[in-house]
Structure 1
Amino acid sequence: MLINADFSRRAVLEVEEQQWINSPQSGVERVMFDRVGEEKARATSLVRYAPSSHFPHHMHPGGEEILVLSGTFSADDTHYPAGWYLRNPPSSGHTPYSDEGAVIFVKLRQMPSDEDRYVAIDTHDDDNWQCQGSRDICPLFSDDGEQVSLQRLNTGEALFDENSISGAGGTELLVVEGSLIDDEQVYQRGSWIRLPVGEQSQIKAGLEGVTVYIKTGHLEQVIGL
């Protein structure tokens, strides 16, 4: 299965275009943003757990990255309410479930084989945020291959400064709160945008400002897929 699998091109899925489809597990649905492979795939998705739904224990070759958007996501005996960011490195495994229901943003099989760091960050904890210029940033992960953060921008503020383009390895965005504007196009909460390596962008925060998940630097390695 190939969905938005040409990583040299811009890909966008606005919230009103998103379609939930059933996963093989009862009570769990997905919106597929990009995908290379069948059930065991390199994939970026939203995953929605109905109350009392679960996946059986499984491994994650290639790793797993999660941002909990609503409800409470649980893995084994640990519970992560909305706002938690998680990274489970390659060869890790768990039994995921949700008692109350949850929606999570998930990236699968997108880590180098030598990544070994577990990450768990509560982005609702003010201590995890720092002021950088006119915006607030919650750093989530950084290495030689990618940088991941949540960023809060004020109304009309440009996402990239005049010296910055998505060309430095490409950029991936998920609107967590508020909206983004690109020319005359408005991307509301839940919209997903992937900008390829080398693309200039004038994206800015919408009228109410924005909180956005932003990952940069990671697309150079996947253009050949």
Structure 2
Amino acid sequence: MLINADFTRPAVLAPHEYQWVASPQTGVDRVMLDRVGAEKARATSIVRYAPNSYFPSHLHPGGEEILVLSGTFSDEVADYPVGWYLRNPPGSSHRPYSVEGTTIFVKLQQMPAREQHHVRINTRYPSNWHRQGSRELCPLFADDSEQVSLQRLGTNELLYDELLNGFELLVLEGSVMADRQSCERGAWLRMPAGQHLDVVGGQQGATVYLKTGHPAHPEVEA
């Protein structure tokens, strides 16, 4: 299965364009944002767990990145309410479930084998945010190939003014204007390296998930 699989092209999905698809597990549905492969794929998705739904214990050979968008996501280790950011490295396993129901942003099989550490960050803790110039920033992960953060943009504040080495963005609160097109909460954008897109905070500002220096690790895709 190939969905937005050409990483040399921009990709944009607005919330009203979401197409929820049932997963193999009852009570778990997903919106496929990009995907290369069948059920076990290199994939970026928004996943929705109904109350009291779960996935059986399974491995993540290429790692897993999660941002909890609503409700509470759980595994055998802990409960993670809305705002938690998780990274499970290649080779890790877990049994995810949700008692109350949850919606999460998930990236699968996109980590290099050298990444070996679990990451757990509660982005709702004020101490995890700091000011960088005029902007508030919550760093989530950084290495030589990618940087991940949450960022708060003011009204008409420019997200970046240089040519980035590719970026991926999910609007978490408020809205952004991308080349004069309004992108509301839940909108997802992916831009390849070498292409520019003017992104500014909307009328009420915005909080966004931002990944730069991606969108893919060649050693994982291979």
3-state DSSP class of the match of 1:155? coil
Contact 2:110 2:217 in 1 (8 A): no
Residue of structure 1 in register with 2:53 after alignment: 53
Q: How does 1:211-222 map to 2 (within 5 A)?
A: 211-219=207-215, 221-222=217-218
Distance 1:183 1:30 in 2: 28
Distance 1:53 1:21 in 2: 16
Q: How many residues align?
A: 221
Q: Is 1:7 matched with 2:7?
A: yes
Call closer, same or farther: CA 1:153–1:123 in 2, change over 3 Å.
same
Amino acid at match of 2:72: T
Deviation at 1:77, TM superposition (A): 3.6
Q: How does 1:63-78 map to 2 (within 5 A)?
A: 63-78=63-78
- Give ranges in structure 2 of 5+ residues lacking alignment: none
* 1:121-159 residue CA offsets vs partner (Å, 9 max, x unmatched): 000000000000111000000000100000001000000
Contact 2:110 2:216 in 1 (8 A): no
Identity rate, percent: 61
Distance 1:110 1:98 in 2: 24
Residue of structure 1 in register with 2:176 after alignment: 180
Residue of structure 2 in register with 1:82 after alignment: 82
Q: How does 1:203-214 map to 2 (within 5 A)?
A: 203-214=199-210
Distance 2:5 2:151 in 1: 26
* 1:19-78 residue CA offsets vs partner (Å, 9 max, x unmatched): 111000000000000000000000000000000000000000000000000000001141
Deviation at 1:114, TM superposition (A): 1.3
Residue of structure 2 in register with 1:117 after alignment: 117
Contact 2:68 2:81 in 1 (8 A): yes
Q: TM-score by structure 1 length?
A: 0.96
Distance 2:215 2:87 in 1: 18
Residue of structure 2 in register with 1:141 after alignment: 141
3-state DSSP class of the match of 2:149? strand
3-state DSSP class of the match of 2:87? strand
Call closer, same or farther: CA 1:220–1:80 in 2, change over 3 Å.
closer
Deviation at 1:220, TM superposition (A): 6.1
Moved more, 212-221 or 136-145: 212-221
Contact 2:111 2:217 in 1 (8 A): no
Residue of structure 2 in register with 1:196 after alignment: 192
Amino acid at match of 1:21: V
